[in-house]
Structure 1
Amino acid sequence: MGFSELLRVCGVAIVFFQLITAGFGWGQHGHYAICKIAEGYLSENAMAVVKELLPESAEGELAAVCSWADLFQVRSHYYWSRALHYVDTPDFRCNYDYSRDCHDSVGRKSRCVTGAIYNYTQQLMSACHNPASEFRYNLTEALMFLSHFVGDVHQPLHCGFLGDLGGNRIQLHWYRRKANLHHVWDTEIIDTAVKNFYGSDLNNMIEALQRNITENWSNYVESWEECDSNRTVCPNPYASESVSLACKYAYRNATPGSVLGDDYFLSRLPIVERRLAQGGVRLAATLNRIFKSCGLISNAGREVQGARLA
């Protein structure tokens, strides 16, 4: 299967929510919510460039492709990308250090979620400011990877402990169902909230998050959008926030064999909802900075196969 056919198949699958996520990332609902929130904060110019780069199957909707990187077909075709969805931190250290932590399982530097965010930001910026670079990258892939990984870095257990692989090795029960702790944070908390509080309609949850951003969290939005020293992208603080939240909330009272029920769900849901909101606002702010002075990008940058690490 060629890349264009792969992208078409993957895009259609995403648009119609026929995803095979296997417990990766936030799960389709989380990534969709983050990118739907981001759409509302994109500048006019950023929205124009984003729509130009999206595959036709997305029908102009960024949220339709935000789970693309989790598709089984994509992970199989681009096996090298698997290490880019997370970063493991030393057990019980509860802090993140790029030079110490950002590497894959065989020690290759910068192969982690924050390194990937830097890389795909650079690819998109390079295409804006140096048109010749369009021929080096597939910019559609770069946009989809970046949008996905900005979401991933906001999931606390994507910056969890090395010893349990971000909670994947902690087997427990979510109410009556067997699960692992990582999957609880990827999917179960969100899906349970959608069912119990939002009429089994994800759009209702997204609308509630959008209201919280404009009302209850309005005083925080500007700080969420900022990057220190006027940088274009700043994923390291997001990873630091995530591992801190993992220590304070995700791992606490979630030991192997335990049963997580209402107490855990109701106390952790506000953390999850705030991280979804932050992820959306920050993704939009990052894309706005990348495309601030960027004209339309030619189709040349969409035809090169493989958005590999620079």
Structure 2
Amino acid sequence: MISAYKRRKLAFITVVYWFLLLFIVAAWIWWFISLESQNSQMRFYKLLQLNKDDPAYEQKLFFINDEHRRKTAQYISEGISFVIVTLIGALFVYRSVRKQFMLNRQQQNFMMAVTHELKTPIAVINLSLETLLKRKLDEGKQQHFIKTSLQETERLNDLVSNILITSQLESGNYINDKESINFSELVYKCVTDFASRFPSRAITKNIRENIFINGESLLLQLLVNNLISNALKYSPKEKPVQVSLSNHNGNILLRVMDEGAGISEEEKKKVFAKFYRSGDEAVRNTKGTGLGLYLCKRITENHNGKIAIQDNKPAGSIFNVEFKV
């Protein structure tokens, strides 16, 4: 209901905006016609005052026609200049306002997603702890509830880390402390952690040993975690997720592959945008805040790398992150 109201409001503002713009352009055209009409009348009056028997008749006629042509050219050039400047300014304002509307909408979707993402793990942890407190359970069930609580705590930690790091990177307050890191061990640890947290999911790895990179450990860990989390989120539970790390053309190549529905060409251009998530937040089933892939791109660029998406055959997506050595 609220979304429909905002769409109608945006449509109304757009119609009013373009109506006013057309009115301004029409006013410029009327201004030109009025001045040109006045110019023609002045030429006509001057021609009436000429005497054909005057020896300077031809010269005066030439000056009158030349003045008329120069004023016409002046009005045309000024009119075109005003119209062009008006249209450029109007287009800039329109794009800025529309971009602001879209950003506000994405921020509202983000707040809805964050609220849901925070409430769900808190509710699960609260229920698990209450069950452990109020009931006497055997060792196996106790371990189950403790493990569930730890998994949801990790989920909360990932969410908070994404929000905080994004804020710090954008504000320029994040202090980079880059050093030589064994990237192979970092990726291996991330994959192992996800395999432990999601024992029912198949996560395969092909990690070449002793690949070192000059970078920030926390940021690179967030990068790998977000890519793996994204692959698990958007692929069927029975399909495997593959993580590989290798040297490629003298550079370091990290690949995360899934066998999900894949990403359309249009979506590939948008998924790295801040807050972007396909679909409507009110009806979307997949978890997330729209910061994961945005943060992946920022971290990759922060480490002098590039990230790209390609189709996985026969189905799914491959996220390629390549770092220059």
TM range (shorter): under 0.3
Structure number with the higher strand fraction is 2
Higher relative contact order, chain-length normalized (CA < 8 Å, sep 6+): 1
Larger radius of gyration: 2
> Given the two structures, how large is their TM-score scaled by the length of structure 2?
0.21
